[in-house]
Amino acid sequence: MRPYLRSLAGGAALAALPIIIGVLIMLFASGSQVRVTNIFFINLIVVLGLQVTMGNSNVANLGHISFMGIGAYVAGILAIPIAIKSTILPDAPFGLSVVEYGPFAATLVAVAVTTAIAFVTGLVITRQSGIAATIVTLAWLVIVHVVFVNWMDLTRGPRALYGIPLSTNIVWLMFIAAAVVIAARVFRDSKSGVQLRASSEDLHAAAAMGVNVRWLRLWAWVFSGAIIGLGGVMYAFLIGSMSPKSFYFETTFLTLAMLILGGMRSVSGAVIGAIMVTVGFEFMRFIEGAPEILGVQLPQIFGLTGFFLGGTIVVVLALRPDGLVGNEELDEMIERRIARRRMRARVAADG
């Protein structure tokens, strides 16, 4: 009971961060900043989903964005009003052209479909370990992309799928992000999470304890797929349109960078990484637009944001290979510092 409560409290403290950010933005920020924050929340949900598998099992996952795409497409296709669907998806299979779901039903179905697909792919992917598993995840991303691009009747292929009713907003997003923070943290500290982390540290020793590594990896993969699928659904309902390239390498690398930068071994790392990259990105975008600062006209530099992303990853990983936060959660780190200070005080008093 005690460790469970600790983890819940730590998760709740961390979950306050997206709520605080959301409230501040709602109170003080401009429309464009709200848009940036909305996207930040969606990225955060995806990064947390990625942390669940990659952070705990320490197997790099390059295919996670496929689940974002599946969630977004399923929800989008279900939610587009029939009137619009008859123009853009007249030949949709499975009788989908005459189906119109509300946002809640569409979300539920989309997350369920994503979870089911994650389960089936997980059966294959968790058979591999190490670099082989990573390559299979990459292959999976490519497969899903090819399906999006070529299944014209279902997805409109490379053209944009539009007309999805805008059904989410910053309030929804911030609460969902906060809930996912807590879920990821509770998973990390749960029996399964601890066993998975142990197996990533020492496969042999964990197996000798009777840990069923394959089953745990599968479970984490499915849970992660569900979270990322939810992120995709929110994307569909926020933007209202999408195309296959919304869910390909660019998003893959952006979210991976967020996770690795913050430190993939902890949920705090995922949150901090998402915040840092978003803030850095927006700042670079601002500089890129050749602003005048304190009377100095800056030159226009194209590609600064991409350069920034690559550069920051190189610098951070060179100086702090475990990411900014490292292996520990922030609350654990603070607790340890306090304990150490107390012990030092006690030793000093004794001496």
* Length of the chain as a residue count: 351
Nearer to another protein, 202 or 250 (CB): 202
* HSE, side-chain direction, 13 A CA sphere, residue 16: 6
3-state DSSP assignment of residue 297: strand
Residue 6 or 35: which CB sits closer to another protein? 6
Nearest approach, Cβ of 28 to another protein (angstroms)?
Answer: 39
Task: Name the residue nearer to another protein (CB basis): 189 or 288.
Answer: 189
- Please report whether residue 350 would count as binding another protein according to CB under 8 A: no
| Binders of another protein in range 88-127 (CB under 8 A) | none
Q: Determine if 128 is a binding residue for another protein (CB under 8 A).
A: no
Distance (Å, whole) CA 243 – CA 116: 23
**Is residue 212 close enough to count as binding another protein by CB under 8 A?**
yes
Name the minimum Å distance from CB 53 to another protein: 17
**x/- track of binding to another protein for residues 241-270 (CB under 8 A):** ------------------------x-----
> Cβ–Cβ contacts within 10 Å for residue 57, how many?
23
- Using the rule CB under 8 A, is 194 a contact of another protein? yes
C-alpha distance from residue 263 to each of 75, 256, 269, 276, 322 (Å):
31, 10, 4, 12, 5
By CB under 8 A, the count of residues binding another protein is 25
Q: Report 2-61 residues binding another protein (CB under 8 A).
A: 3
Beta-carbon contacts of 270 under 8 Å, excluding residues fewer than 6 positions away, are: 44, 47, 48, 50, 51, 55, 184, 258, 259, 262, 263, 264
Nearer to another protein, 282 or 328 (CB): 328
Q: Which helix (H) or strand (E) holds 292?
A: strand 292-293
- Residue 319 contacts another protein per CB under 8 A: no
Angle between helix 249-262 and helix 267-288 axes, rounded to 10 deg:
120
Tell me whether residue 16 or residue 207 sits nearer to another protein (CB atom). 207
Q: Of the candidates 120, 207, 290, 298, which one interacts with another protein according to CB under 8 A? A: 207
Rg over CA atoms, the chain: 22
- Residue 195 tokens read as 């066993």
Find tokens 């020492």 and name the residue.
202
Give the interface with another protein as residue ranges (CB under 8 A): 3, 189, 191, 194-195, 197-198, 201-202, 204-212, 265, 327-328, 332, 335-336, 339
